[in-house]
Structure 1
Amino acid sequence: MADDYFTDILNFDKKAYFDKYKEEIMEKSMNQYVYTGYPAVKTPEHRRRSVYETYTKPIEETYFWILEHMTTGREGFPLIEKITDVFTAAEQSAFWGQSSTRLGVQQDKVSQYLATIGKMVKDMFQLVRELRILDERIGYYEDSNDRSSKSRESAEITLKGIYVDMAEGGSKNPSSVFGMARELQFTSLPDLFFSVHPPTSREVDEYVNKLEFNEAVKRVLKRKLRSFMQWKEHTSKEIKTRKKFTLKYMRQHYDVIHMYLSWIRPYLRNIARILSESMENKKITSADLVSAFEGSLIEVEYIVRRMPKKNKDYFACVLATFIMRTRPDMSYHQEGYRHQGPLHTGKIEVITRRYAWTEEDFQNYKKLRAAEDFEIIGRIDRSVKEAMEGLGNELQKYLEEAGEETMLMEKRKKEPKKQKKKWVNNLVGTFITIKPKQEKPKKKTKKDLVRIEKEKKAADKAGAFCQWLTYKNYKKSHGFLSW
């Protein structure tokens, strides 16, 4: 069973990541070096940076031009995945007001879904408790109907006690077994009722006629036993049917909870982007954003990948980061004043980094970035999971009965196959304990190391070509100084 993706993000160790991959140090200005929060590149040549500022043309063109150039053509990188897409705006800007309105709508939806999920999780506890009681009662019926069961008599007595208390109303009812013993002096009736156990309702008369008691007692006993046997047969079917429907209802509850969780995640992602912690910190500390001005900060990041020929493990990866400081221009149609969305002009900084990464390296980087802003999603998933795990193994058992493949608890791992003992062990094993050799992790051979180094070089070469070609062609196509 796959691990919960959002729980993995929540438990991601950023320090351990940078212990393995090292953190990049970049020269921000002359002899001034800063940590960037990115995995270290091999050399400064593995990183290229360009800055473009215009207040007459939309900067979206730069983003899409670079994206198309990297991913299309003969040497294009076909595998692309967006990693980061966050923004923030000045508090007094119209852009911030528009995004806040949309944020409020999504927050309302999230609160509604969370309230529903909480109520349904609470109902799950009641359903599991009800199923537990039904299982207990069904156990009495099964033992009572099984003539070979050693506990048949105790099960029959228990059911008769339930019948007297629930169906007849106990000793308060004069017509009950205990009521007739007290009111009508049928003192032997309770003892006979709890000691005679006919298998079916049709055998009641035969069992009672064998008893050596007066006819009045026998008549009352027949009436009570026949009534009990009919009650037992009908309630047995009723309880089994009730359990069947309760199982289906619980399965429906479980599926709906997971459906709501899947619905709520897109809203949480959008909220996390709008209320990105890193961008909110920049809003407070960055001098690029002034509260009274129309301004916004946008950060977009994606990775393009390609597997070079003859490579098996290492991809050529180019990480493109776009940091934009824009002045949103909220344009409207004159007829009807219909809103057309903001037009962004301003400054765009493009930084490309190239790496030779395996699939595992790529997934680790994705988790690093996701852990920064999407912690709330993993927290909600984990809280629901922990609440359901509080029900114990019973929830899993009932879901399996209902035909549901549960995702809550890990299934027991299969026991490893026992290794056959060699004949030497069998011969001396009675006297000497021979410890089996522990399997050591396979060390990479010299051939493997050479192959890995070749793959890294091939991936680096492909990434360098894409990175340089994009940088050069962008400058030439836009009339910048190039050589």
Structure 2
Amino acid sequence: MSASDILKENDFKEEVWEEKKDQFLPTGYPAPLKRYKVVWEAFNMNMEEAYFWTLNHTQDLGYHKIDKTEDIFSASENSAFFGVSQQRIGLQQDKVSQYLATIGKMTKELFQLVRELRIIDERMQYYRESMGYDKDGNYTGEFKESSEITLKGIYIDMVQGGSKNPASIYGMAREVGFTSLPDLFFSTHPKDSGEVEKVVESQRGGFNKKVRVVLIRHLKSYLVWKENTFKELKTRRTFTLRYLRQHFDIIKMYMQWVRPYLKHIKRLTMDEDKMLEPQLISAFEGSMLEVEFLAYKFPVDQKTTKTNKKVYACILANFLYTTRPSMSFQQEGYQRGPIHVGKVEATFRAYAWDDDTIKRYKKMKEQQDLEMMKSISDSVKAAMDALGDEFESYLEEAGEVIEKEEEAKKEEKKEPGFMERLRAEFIGPKKEKKPKEKKPSKADEAKKKSEQGKASKAAKMDLFLTFKNFKKAHGMVMW
């Protein structure tokens, strides 16, 4: 997206300026109230001084709120500056790759944890229904025989080994005298292991003693297994649930850790557009830097001593350096740092903006960075969405606070009646009434207009002082 499109998207009118002789071009900046430009070239002077002088001067003028909105650079491939910056980028990239690999691995493990919880919940449903409990663990007394039979089947298959084991229910059923054992086992349902003898004697007293003894033995073994495994499943579910939350929190922690590194890499990466500038030759030592800050304050009326409440006086200072970095020798143990000597183009612009406009401008400047940061969050969010609603319910159960987007309620449109359709045939359809936007009162409009005028006047005056004093402080002709 071009600079003009971004400005238009954020409701800014673009500035058109005579950049070269008779060439009026869009600059990619909002149209200012006033603009000054200084081009200063010095081959034996520290060029950082121009930026910091302007920064300190705006603070002296009362601009206590200052935001850095741009800080990019490019260097020719064979310059010393390029080599040092690439080393620093490499260190940051190694860290990012480690964090992203860990995030990917842990996100993959989330699927296994959720799957394990689903299996536990399925199994626990059989236990609860066979004991007369609901999903929340409240006793209802509603016994479901189907769940009890299912659990007994699982016990025979998983614990006793099915028909392959001669001592199992199905294995003994092949012997003479025990043919009815499976039917008795699946149709006799004591509540707990302490009632086995009582229930068998009262309900199955008509069968011979040998069958009753074997039935008691198997039912006792089954109910002890059922009670113990139910406790084990509850403990395992609690542990897995807490581990799931811990896992999720660690992923969020790694995402917080990786974001500063991504931001640093973005800032250390060379600007590709400036790499193509004719001022940068790959065989020469050279670099291009662009730094920008926005300073703003509420202006004070000198006559009435009243301060604005909504509209700020703003100064936007942009510095474009075309420099030759000179690497200074540093004592071992310190990082090398270049001193920039060359040419700087300082452009000062004045604006009268309210808080909302300042936020829109900063948002416009940060748009690319936000997209880069958002890509990781979106990939993790897509994985979370793939896990389904159960994942969120498990996290909520574990104590995690989940922010849910409120779905907009769609109003159902009523079908027009006969009279309305008849009216539409001859007169036309009835126009829907749009909700009226609350307009500001005349007093509010007058107050805002007054503040706008004060802020414009203060911004233009302070901009001129900055421009004038900058030239005087650096030995330039000023009239």
Same fold (TM over 0.5): yes
CA contact (8 A) 2:288 2:320 kept: yes
Report the Cα offset of residue 58 of structure 1.
0.7
Question: Does residue 1:314 correspond to 2:307, yes or no?
Answer: no
Distance 1:438 1:288, change over 3 A: closer
TM-score, with structure 2 as normaliser: 0.86
The equivalent of 1:124 in structure 2 is 110
The equivalent of 1:144 in structure 2 is 130
CA distance in 1, matches of 2:89, 2:120: 46
Q: Give the aligned residue type for 1:49.
A: K
Question: Does residue 1:159 correspond to 2:151, yes or no?
Answer: yes
The equivalent of 2:82 in structure 1 is 96
TM-score, with structure 1 as normaliser: 0.86
Residues matched between the structures, number: 444
* Equivalent runs, 1:164-203 vs 2, <5 Å: 164-183=156-175, 186-203=178-195
Report the Cα offset of residue 208 of structure 1.
0.5
Question: Does residue 1:464 correspond to 2:431, yes or no?
Answer: no
Which of residues 37, 44, 48 in structure 2 aligns to 1:60? 48
The equivalent of 2:405 in structure 1 is 410
Q: Deviations along 1:390-420, whole A, 9 cap, x unmatched?
A: 112111111111111235x52567999xxxx
Stretches of structure 2 that go unaligned for 5 or more consecutive residues are 133-138, 300-305, 412-431
Q: Deviations along 1:290-318, whole A, 9 cap, x unmatched?
A: 11111111111111121335433322222
Aligned-partner SS, 1:182:
coil
* Equivalent runs, 1:357-396 vs 2, <5 Å: 357-373=353-369, 375-396=371-392
CA contact (8 A) 1:272 1:374 kept: no
The equivalent of 1:40 in structure 2 is 31
Distance 1:159 1:20, change over 3 A: same
CA distance in 2, matches of 1:185, 1:448: 99
Distance 1:477 1:289, change over 3 A: same
Aligned-partner SS, 1:457:
helix
Which of residues 289, 303, 316 in structure 1 aligns to 2:280? 289
CA distance in 1, matches of 2:261, 2:254: 11
Stretches of structure 1 that go unaligned for 5 or more consecutive residues are 1-9, 417-435
Aligned-partner SS, 1:202:
helix
The equivalent of 2:58 in structure 1 is 70
Report the Cα offset of residue 482 of structure 1.
1.3
CA contact (8 A) 1:88 1:274 kept: no
Question: Does residue 1:50 correspond to 2:38, yes or no?
Answer: yes
- Between 146-155 and 209-218, report the one with greater CA deviation: 146-155
The equivalent of 1:348 in structure 2 is 344
CA distance in 1, matches of 2:341, 2:365: 27
Question: Does residue 1:216 correspond to 2:210, yes or no?
Answer: yes
Q: Deviations along 1:108-154, whole A, 9 cap, x unmatched?
A: 21111111111111111111111111122222222222274545212
Q: Give the aligned residue type for 1:230.
A: V
CA contact (8 A) 2:6 2:364 kept: no
Question: Does residue 1:443 correspond to 2:439, yes or no?
Answer: yes
The equivalent of 1:30 in structure 2 is 21
CA contact (8 A) 1:332 1:339 kept: no
CA distance in 2, matches of 1:185, 1:361: 91
CA distance in 2, matches of 1:353, 1:81: 15
CA distance in 1, matches of 2:49, 2:334: 24
Report the Cα offset of residue 67 of structure 1.
0.6
Which of residues 232, 236, 254 in structure 2 aligns to 1:238? 232
Q: Deviations along 1:162-211, whole A, 9 cap, x unmatched?
A: 21222222222222222221356522111111111111111111111111
Distance 1:204 1:21, change over 3 A: same
Aligned-partner SS, 1:390:
helix
CA distance in 1, matches of 2:12, 2:327: 42
Report the Cα offset of residue 438 of structure 1.
7.0
CA distance in 2, matches of 1:289, 1:395: 53
CA contact (8 A) 1:110 1:264 kept: yes
- Between 311-320 and 26-35, report the one with greater CA deviation: 311-320
Question: Does residue 1:252 correspond to 2:249, yes or no?
Answer: no
Question: Does residue 1:207 correspond to 2:199, yes or no?
Answer: yes
Q: Deviations along 1:205-233, whole A, 9 cap, x unmatched?
A: 11111112111111111111111111111
Q: Give the aligned residue type for 1:325.
A: T
CA contact (8 A) 1:331 1:339 kept: no
Aligned-partner SS, 2:461:
helix
The equivalent of 1:225 in structure 2 is 219
Question: Does residue 1:80 correspond to 2:52, yes or no?
Answer: no
Aligned-partner SS, 2:296:
strand
Root mean square deviation, CA, Å: 2.5
The equivalent of 1:133 in structure 2 is 119
Distance 1:187 1:63, change over 3 A: same
Identity within the alignment, %: 49
CA contact (8 A) 1:143 1:149 kept: no
Distance 1:384 1:172, change over 3 A: same
Report the Cα offset of residue 20 of structure 1.
2.1
Report the Cα offset of residue 437 of structure 1.
8.4
Distance 1:168 1:378, change over 3 A: same
The equivalent of 1:326 in structure 2 is 323
